[in-house]
Structure 1
Amino acid sequence: MSGAGAPQITVEAAGLTVEIVASSWHTEVMDGLVAGAIRAAEAAGAQHRVTRVAGAVELTVVAEALARRGADAIACLGVVIRGGTPHFEYVCQSVTQGLTDVSREHCVPVGFGVLTVDTEEQALNRAGLPGSDEDKGVEAVEAALQTALTLRSL
């Protein structure tokens, strides 16, 4: 089960800003993820800004620009649902590697809230909507802010 063993994180991040970058495909899922991300930022006392992009691949270039501008933390949200072509694998690999590169090269935490699922039902179950088992928008923001705090403490 996805989410099994996940840590319970309480983040106090007053004074930090988290940049929330969200794709536009699959509106219902994305609206849930963005709402959860905003709730997590507010609960942590962090400022936040939401930037929408066309799709999952576009998350990487916007995350790169935000990292270059000195972002405290970035949370990238998207959803890629498997179809009948290899497109799924290409997109997932590109986004995962791209966001990892941004984080590593700029030493800026990038919370990974990109759902890579087989079905729309799986995506809805992770979107933080009423009846969902998980909220990956919350998790992405909490992870990014917690890592930003850890980096500041080093």
Structure 2
Amino acid sequence: MSQIACTYGIPVGLFDAMIIQESRYDASIYSPKQAYGLTQLMPATALGLGVNRYDVEGNLRGGATYLRQQLDRFGHYHLALAAYNAGPGRVKNGRIPRISETQNYVSNILSNWTMLTGLHRRSSIVTGAAAVPASDRTVSVTRF
């Protein structure tokens, strides 16, 4: 999971918190809307990304790719998470949609990310810190 997050320039704690929210790390879980796996990929999303959502690594790569797309599109963690949950078409005017599920989703992930990374000051995450654009990131990982 960490290596995939790093490959896509996603903070490991954020990706971990998202997986906890999506599936509680149950690789074989289905949602009522037929999303599947650790990152809860919908069939059309997995197909569009060219990944096998039933394969754990494919599911993780698909989730990371889709989250990276939202980060690149919206530029802020809270908006990217809202788009991941509700769909990018529902994130308008730089605001999280007024859908309680999505608002809770974003809040829970950001809170868990804060807890997982041991941050004592939440403000930079909760207020919608800007995400690092894909073109400006460099990752060099030799060992975990």
Please say whether Structure 1 and Structure 2 have the same fold, judged by a TM-score greater than 0.5.
no
Q: TM-score, normalised by structure 1?
A: 0.26
The structure that is strand-richer by fraction is 1
Quick one: higher RCO (CA 8 Å, sep 6+), 1 or 2? 1
